A and B are shown apart, each in its own frame.
Chain A
Amino acid sequence: MRPAKGSTQPLIYSMPDPAAPTWGRKIMRQIYQQRYLFLMVLPFVVWVIIFKYIPIWGWTMAFQDYKPHLSFAEQTWVGWKYFVELFHDRQFYLVLRNTIAMSLLSLLCGYTFPIMFAILLNEIGRRYFRQIIQTISYLPHFVSWVVVAGIFTKLLAIGGPVNQLLLALGLTDKPILFMAKGEYFWGIVTIADLWKELGWNSIIFLAAIMGIDGNLYEAAQMDGAGRFRQIWHITLPGIRPVVFIMLIMSIGNLINIGFEKQFLLQNNMVKDYSEVLDLYALTYGIRVARYAYGTAVGIFKSAVSIVLLFLANFIIRRFNDDRAVL
Chain B
Amino acid sequence: MRRGKTKERLFQVFLYGIMVLIGVITLYPFLNVLAISFNDALDTVKGGIYLWPRVFTWNNYREVFTYPNLVIGFNMSLLRTITGTVLGLISTAMVAYVISCREFIACRLVSALFILTMYVSGGLIPEFMLVRKLGLMNNFWVYILPGLISGWNVFVIRAYMDTLPESLTESAKLDGANELTIFFRIIFPLCKPILATIALFIAVGQWNSWFDTYIYCSGNRALTTLQYEMMRILQDVTSATTSSIYGMNEYNAPRTSPESIQAAITIVVTLPILFVYPFLQKYFVKGLTLGALKS
Contacts and interface: CB of A to CB of B under 8 A. Distances in A.
Given A267-B240, A302-B123, A142 B273 contact: yes
B148 interface: yes
A112 interface: no
A185 interface: no
Contact of B166 (A7, A27, A45): A7
Given A45-B110, A138-B281, A298 B208 contact: no
Contact of A54 (B47, B130, B234): B130
B252 interface: no
Given A44-B91, A58-B130, A142 B277 contact: yes
B13 interface: no
Contacts of B292: 204, 242, 245-246
A13 interface: yes
Taking chain B's interface residues, is the majority helix, strand, or loop, or is none over half, making it mixed? helix
Contacts of B207: 144
Interface in A184-206: 195, 198-199, 203-204
A56 B122 contact: yes
B253 interface: no
B269 A56 contact: no
Interface in A133-170: 133-140, 142-147, 149-151, 153-155, 159, 161
Contacts of B145: 47, 51
Interface in A53-70: 53-59, 61, 68
A23 interface: no
B124 A159 contact: no
Contacts, number: 259
A59 B126 contact: yes
Contacts of B94: 40-41, 44
A269 B166 CA distance: 61
Interface string B226-266: 01001100100111110000000000000000010010001
Contacts of A10: 166-167, 170
B278 interface: yes
A48 B231 contact: no
Given A132-B23, A153-B237, A204-B289, A36 B95 contact: no
Interface residues of B, number: 96
Contact of B238 (A2, A129, A179): A179
A11 B270 contact: no
Interface of A: 1-5, 7, 10-11, 13, 27, 30-31, 34, 36-41, 44-45, 47-59, 61, 68, 117, 120-121, 123-124, 129, 132-140, 142-147, 149-151, 153-155, 159, 161, 179, 195, 198-199, 203-204, 207, 226-227, 242, 245-246, 252, 260, 263-264, 267-269, 278, 281-282, 285-286, 291, 294-295, 297-299, 301-302, 306, 309
Given A3-B171, A52-B117, A146-B269, 16 more contacts: A4-B170, A10-B170, A27-B105, A30-B105, A41-B99, A54-B130, A56-B121, A61-B129, A151-B266, A226-B7, A263-B211, A285-B124, A294-B124, A295-B126, A298-B123, A306-B120
